A and B are shown apart, each in its own frame.
Chain A
Amino acid sequence: MRFWLKIFSRPWIWSYLGALLVWLAAIAFTHGYGAGGMLTAGLALAVFSVITGVAQMFVITLGPGNVDLSLPANIGLASAVAMKVMDGSDKMIAAGLVAALFSGVGIGIGNYLLIWLLRIPPIIATLSASFIIQSAGISYGRGLQIKPPPGFAEFTSAQLAGIPLLAIGTAIFTAGIGILLHRTIYGRSVLAIGQNTRAAWLSGIPVERIRCATYVLSGALGGICGALLAGYFRGSSLEIGDEYLLNSIAVVVIGGTSVSGGRANVPGLWGAALFLVLLLTMLNTFGVSAGIRFVVTGLVIIGVIIAAGGQKAAR
Chain B
Amino acid sequence: MTSVPGASAVRIPWATGQTPRRFLRAALPAISLALVILGIAWLNQRAISYFGLNLMLNLGIPVALATIAQMFVITVNDLDLSIGTFVSFVGCVAATWLRDAPLLGVAVLLAGVGVYALIGAVIYLRNVPSIVVTLGMLFVWQGLAILLLPKPGGKPPDWLHGLMNFRTPYVPFPIIAGIVIAVLVHIGLMRTSYGAILRGSGGNPNAIARAGWSLLKTKIIMYALAGIFGVLSGLALIGLTTSADANIGKGYTLLSIAGVILGGGEFVGGRVSPIGAVIGALTLTLAGSLLNFMRVSPDWQVGAQGAILIIVLAARALINRTDGRAS
Binding site for B on A (CB under 8 A): 63-67, 114, 117-124, 127-132, 134-136, 138-139, 142, 196-198, 201, 207, 246, 249-250, 253, 259-260, 289-302, 305-306, 308-315
Contacts and interface: CB of A to CB of B under 8 A. Distances in A.
Contact of A128 (B122, B138, B140, B306): B306
A253 B267 CA distance: 22
24 contacts: A66-B1, A114-B310, A127-B306, A128-B309, A131-B302, A132-B303, A134-B302, A135-B301, A135-B303, A135-B306, A139-B300, A198-B4, A246-B139, A289-B147, A290-B143, A295-B144, A300-B136, A305-B128, A306-B133, A309-B127, A312-B127, A313-B127, A314-B5, A315-B5
Contact of A310 (B3, B127, B267, B317): B127
A296 B147 CA distance: 12
A259 B310 contact: no
Interface string B292-327: 000001011111111101100110110010000011
A63 B268 CA distance: 15
Contacts of B131: 67, 249, 259
Contacts of B5: 313-315
B10 interface: no
A195 B90 CA distance: 40
B18 interface: no
Nearest to B257: A127
A310 B299 contact: no
A114 to B, nearest CB: 7
B149 to A, nearest CB: 10
Contacts of A310: 126-129
A314 B133 CA distance: 22
A139 B137 contact: no
Given A305-B126, A310-B127, A310-B128, 11 more contacts: A131-B306, A135-B303, A138-B300, A259-B128, A259-B129, A291-B147, A295-B139, A295-B147, A298-B140, A299-B140, A301-B136
Given A135-B304, A196-B4, A298-B138, A306 B122 contact: yes
A196 B7 CA distance: 13
B132 interface: yes
A299 B257 contact: no
A306 B317 CA distance: 37
A129 B267 CA distance: 17
Nearest to B307: A132
Interface residues of B, number: 54
Interface string B272-307: 000000000000000000000000010111111111
A134 B133 contact: no
Given A132-B307, A314-B5, A246 B135 contact: yes
B95 interface: no
Nearest to A207: B2
A250 B135 contact: yes
Contacts of A249: 131-132, 135
A305 B142 contact: no
B146 interface: yes
B299 A138 contact: yes
Contacts of A308: 128
Nearest to B300: A135
B66 interface: no
A124 B127 contact: no
A132 B306 contact: yes
B150 interface: yes
A170 B145 CA distance: 36
A123 B306 CA distance: 13
B98 interface: no
Nearest to A196: B4
Contacts of B306: 127-132, 134-135
